[in-house]
């Protein structure tokens, strides 16, 4: 396990690719300034080391009698326990290993025995599984328009819960647009008093704050490995056993069943019930390793690191004319290191292309898979989002601020144009990194609409 100390670069923990050089349009090369952790975070070095360590042990799991099969099975099941412990699961909670948060939320949507209450400020992953009608009345959800303050939103929640009954209140642990959140303990009190359970979409919260099911009373949490410094294709849904034991099996197939005849199937209880097919052993091992690394950080280190970066980012943005930082609830406390903003009326796709081509900075632009939230904030043309994590050095934030200052004072040096719906440099001379022509690859894949997701 690596030491939880500040590294040479100002990062809290070493990540793979933290210094990867990227080409600029003027022919120079600079270390990549990754300010897109909220989308996907780089692997912790310790996670990559752990994956390499267990690769020689990898073999079939659960049904293999061979020695390595049994080692792999033990690794998978131990990882499940470690991941559950990381979010302080209760003794009788179940941890289902899934692909990502989207997978986890869709899985639970098939298990909730009643109506669902969801806010309009959610990521689509925590909105569509509940409102997407599949002809099953139980899945119907009420989408509550949140108020401009935390206090007002809690009042609306209380009033709507009284109109229930609701089986579940689902909300984000931290917004992927503003980093803000409602106080979970207050929501749990309101929901439980009304007989509803609480699900937290922990995609942004879990990698950035210590979270405890046991202490908060939250009933379910979902999160993704690739946002938790373990980009090996696994995520987790953890929570109360009864709904998961009786809900619709998420995937039908081998491993999820006790006995099959042609005219009937006996399903396993959770977690096996929802994990049909060969499990992602290495993904689970990677996620468990990331959980251990984050858990080993000294108390407060994570918050201190991210808060310092967020503060520096906000202070810097406040000096750039025309910048508007998006806020859902200005009275919310302890936002994580995710900041979305607009720069006057400038097209966020163009600004993002400039930041990449002329400064080597990676940010996200668009509507961040949260269209209702952006609409509520009156942002129709999309925005920019900078997000940080344990591998972010201060220099990356400073570079962004300097780049935005230059943008507003002088504008871009290169010429940009929309090609295939995406802002690109006209006659881009960059030829890629380490023989991989990323630009050609992106163009070949098509990069979506200008006001994208
Ligand atoms: N919820 C939130 C708050 C997110 O930020 C994201 C992804 O950005 C998701 C859910 C979906 O996560 P995934 O793409 O890993 O399924």
Element (H, E) at 238: strand 235-239
Q: What is the pLDDT of residue 7?
A: 42
| Atom of ligand 1 lying closest to residue 176 CA | 5
Which residues fall within 8 angstroms of residue 182, CB to CB, at 6 or more apart?
150, 153, 154, 171, 329, 332
| Atom of ligand 1 lying closest to residue 102 CA | 16
143 SS3 class: strand
Q: Which residues of 322-332 are buried (b: 16+ CB within 10 A; e: fewer)?
A: ebeebbbbeeb
Show the DSSP H helices in 194-300 as ranges: 213-216, 241-246, 281-295
Q: What is the pLDDT of residue 430?
A: 87
Q: What is the pLDDT of residue 243?
A: 98
Which pLDDT tens digit goes with each residue over 365-407?
A: 999 999 999 999 999 999 999 999 999 999 999 999 999 999 9
Q: What is the pLDDT of residue 450?
A: 40
Ligand 1 mean position to 319 CA, how many Å? Answer: 31
Q: What is the residue with the minimal CA distance to atom 12 of ligand 1? A: 101
| Atom of ligand 1 lying closest to residue 368 CA | 8
Q: Which of 224, 230, 338, 389 to probe ligand 1 with, by most ligand atoms within 8 A of CB?
A: 224
Q: Which of 36, 98, 102, 221 to probe ligand 1 with, by most ligand atoms within 8 A of CB?
A: 102
**389/414 Cα distance (integer angstroms):** 30
Ligand 1 mean position to 227 CA, how many Å? Answer: 8
Q: What is the pLDDT of residue 452?
A: 46
Ligand 1 mean position to 37 CA, how many Å? Answer: 11
Q: How many CA atoms within 13 Å lie on the side-chain side of 401?
A: 18
Which pLDDT tens digit goes with each residue over 1-26?
A: 333 333 435 899 999 999 999 999 99
Show the DSSP H helices in 13-100 as ranges: 45-54, 67-86
Q: What is the pLDDT of residue 4?
A: 36
Pairing relationship of beta strands 383-387 and 364-366 according to DSSP bridges: antiparallel
**357/407 Cα distance (integer angstroms):** 13
| Structural contact between residues 332 and 180, judged by C-beta atoms closer than 8 angstroms | yes
Average of per-residue pLDDT values in the chain: 92
Which pLDDT tens digit goes with each residue over 308-353?
A: 999 999 999 999 999 999 999 999 999 999 999 999 999 999 999 9
Which of 343, 347, 331 minimizes the C-alpha distance to 403? 343
| Residue 436 confidence (pLDDT) above 80 | no
* Stretch 248-269: mean pLDDT: 96
What CA–CA distances, in Å, run from 230 to 22, 68, 255, 367?
22, 23, 25, 25
Q: What is the residue with the minimal CA distance to atom 8 of ligand 1? A: 39
Quote the DSSP letter at residue 248. P
Q: What residues are paired with 260 via a beta bridge?
A: 265
* Stretch 107-129: mean pLDDT: 96
Which residues fall within 8 angstroms of residue 176, CB to CB, at 6 or more apart?
38, 123, 203, 204, 338, 368, 369, 370
Same fold for the pair 21-42+299-451 and 46-295? no
**100/279 Cα distance (integer angstroms):** 13
Ligand 1 mean position to 125 CA, how many Å? Answer: 6
Strand ranges for 145-190 from DSSP E: 168-172
Q: What is the pTM of this model?
A: 0.93
| Residue 417 confidence (pLDDT) above 50 | yes
Q: What is the pLDDT of residue 72?
A: 96
Which DSSP string do the residues of 307-323 spell out, in sequence order? Answer: HHHHHHHHHHHTTSTTE
Which residues fall within 8 angstroms of residue 450, CB to CB, at 6 or more apart?
347, 349, 382, 418, 421, 422, 423
Q: What is the pLDDT of residue 278?
A: 94
* Stretch 411-425: mean pLDDT: 95
**289/284 Cα distance (integer angstroms):** 9
Q: What is the pLDDT of residue 134?
A: 53
The active-site residue out of 291, 369, 422, 447 is 369
Q: What is the pLDDT of residue 137?
A: 55
Query: Residues lining ligand 1, CB < 6 A?
Result: 38-39, 100-102, 123, 125-126, 172, 176, 201, 203-204, 224, 226
| Atom of ligand 1 lying closest to residue 235 CA | 15
Backbone angle region of 158, left / alpha / beta, with phi > 0 → left and psi within -120 to 50 → alpha? alpha
Ligand 1 mean position to 8 CA, how many Å? Answer: 31
| Atom of ligand 1 lying closest to residue 224 CA | 15
Q: What residues are paired with 224 via a beta bridge?
A: 235
| Residue 453 confidence (pLDDT) above 90 | no
Pairing relationship of beta strands 168-172 and 197-201 according to DSSP bridges: parallel
Ligand 1 mean position to 203 CA, how many Å? Answer: 5
Tell me, yes or no, if 447 is annotated catalytic. Answer: no
Please give the angle made by the CA atoms of 283, 285 and 291, to the nearest 5 degrees. Answer: 105
Q: Which of 38, 99, 101 to probe ligand 1 with, by most ligand atoms within 8 A of CB?
A: 101
CATH topology of domain 46-295: 3.40.640
Q: Which of 106, 109, 176, 180 to probe ligand 1 with, by most ligand atoms within 8 A of CB?
A: 176
CATH topology of domain 21-42+299-451: 3.90.1150
Which of 155, 289, 276, 172 minimizes the C-alpha distance to 230? 289
> Residue 9's Cα: distance from chain center in Å?
24
Which of 187, 263, 174 minimizes the C-alpha distance to 218? 187
Which residue ranges make up each domain of the chain?
21-42+299-451, 46-295
| Structural contact between residues 329 and 154, judged by C-beta atoms closer than 8 angstroms | no
| Residue 298 confidence (pLDDT) above 80 | yes
Ligand 1 mean position to 208 CA, how many Å? Answer: 14
Task: Calculate what percentage of the chain has a pLDDT beyond 90.
Answer: 88
Which pLDDT tens digit goes with each residue over 46-94?
A: 999 999 999 999 999 877 889 999 999 999 999 999 999 999 999 999 9
Ligand 1 mean position to 430 CA, how many Å? Answer: 31
Please give the angle made by the CA atoms of 105, 110 and 112, to the nearest 5 degrees. Answer: 90
How buried is 156 (Cβ within 10 angstroms: 0-12 exposed, 13-18 middle, 19+ buried)? middle
441 SS3 class: helix
| Atom of ligand 1 lying closest to residue 173 CA | 3
Which of 337, 342, 314, 325 minimizes the C-alpha distance to 408? 342
């Amino acid at each position: 396990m690596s030491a939880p100390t500040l590294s040479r670069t100002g990062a809290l923990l070493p990540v793979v690719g933290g210094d990867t050089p990227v080409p600029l349009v003027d022919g120079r090369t600079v270390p990549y300034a990754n300010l897109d952790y909220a989308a996907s975070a780089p692997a912790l070095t310790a996670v990559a080391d752990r994956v390499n360590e267990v690769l020689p042990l990898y073999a079939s799991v659960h049904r293999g009698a061979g020695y390595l099969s049994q080692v792999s099975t033990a690794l998978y099941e131990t990882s499940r326990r470690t991941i559950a412990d990381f979010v302080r699961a209760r003794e009788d909670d179940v941890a289902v290993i899934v692909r990502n948060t989207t997978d986890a939320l869709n899985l639970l949507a098939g298990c909730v025995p009643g109506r669902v209450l969801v806010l309009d400020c959610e990521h689509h992953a925590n909105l569509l599984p509940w409102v997407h009608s599949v002809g099953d009345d139980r899945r119907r959800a009420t989408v509550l328009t949140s108020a401009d303050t935390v206090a007002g939103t809690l009042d609306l929640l209380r009033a709507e819960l009284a109109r229930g009954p609701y089986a579940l209140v689902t909300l984000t642990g931290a917004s992927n647009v503003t980093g803000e959140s409602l106080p979970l303990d207050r929501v749990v009190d309101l929901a439980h008093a009304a007989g509803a359970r609480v699900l937290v979409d922990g995609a942004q919260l879990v990698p950035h704050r210590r979270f405890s099911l046991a202490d908060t009373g939250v009933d379910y949490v979902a999160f993704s490995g690739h946002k938790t410094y373990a980009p090996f294709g696994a995520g987790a849904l953890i929570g109360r056993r009864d709904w998961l034991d009786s809900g619709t099996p998420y995937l039908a197939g081998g491993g999820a069943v006790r006995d099959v005849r042609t005219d009937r199937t006996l399903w396993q209880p959770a977690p096996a019930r929802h994990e049909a097919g060969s499990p992602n052993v290495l993904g689970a091992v990677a996620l468990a390793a990331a959980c251990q690394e984050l858990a080993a950080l000294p108390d407060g280190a994570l918050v201190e690191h991210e808060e310092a970066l967020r503060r520096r980012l906000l202070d810097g943005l406040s000096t750039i004319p025309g910048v508007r930082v998006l806020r859902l609830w200005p009275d919310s406390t302890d936002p994580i290191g995710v900041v979305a903003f607009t720069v006057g009326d400038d097209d966020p796709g163009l600004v993002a292309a400039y930041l990449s081509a002329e400064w080597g900075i990676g940010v996200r632009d668009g509507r961040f898979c949260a269209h209702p939230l952006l609409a509520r904030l009156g942002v129709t043309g999309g925005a920019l989002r900078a997000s940080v994590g344990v591998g972010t050095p201060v220099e990356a934030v400073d570079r962004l601020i300097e780049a935005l200052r230059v943008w507003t004072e002088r504008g871009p040096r290169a010429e940009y144009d929309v090609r295939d719906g995406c802002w690109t440099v006209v006659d881009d001379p960059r030829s890629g990194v380490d023989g991989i022509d990323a630009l050609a690859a992106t163009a070949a894949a098509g990069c979506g609409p200008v006001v994208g997701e």
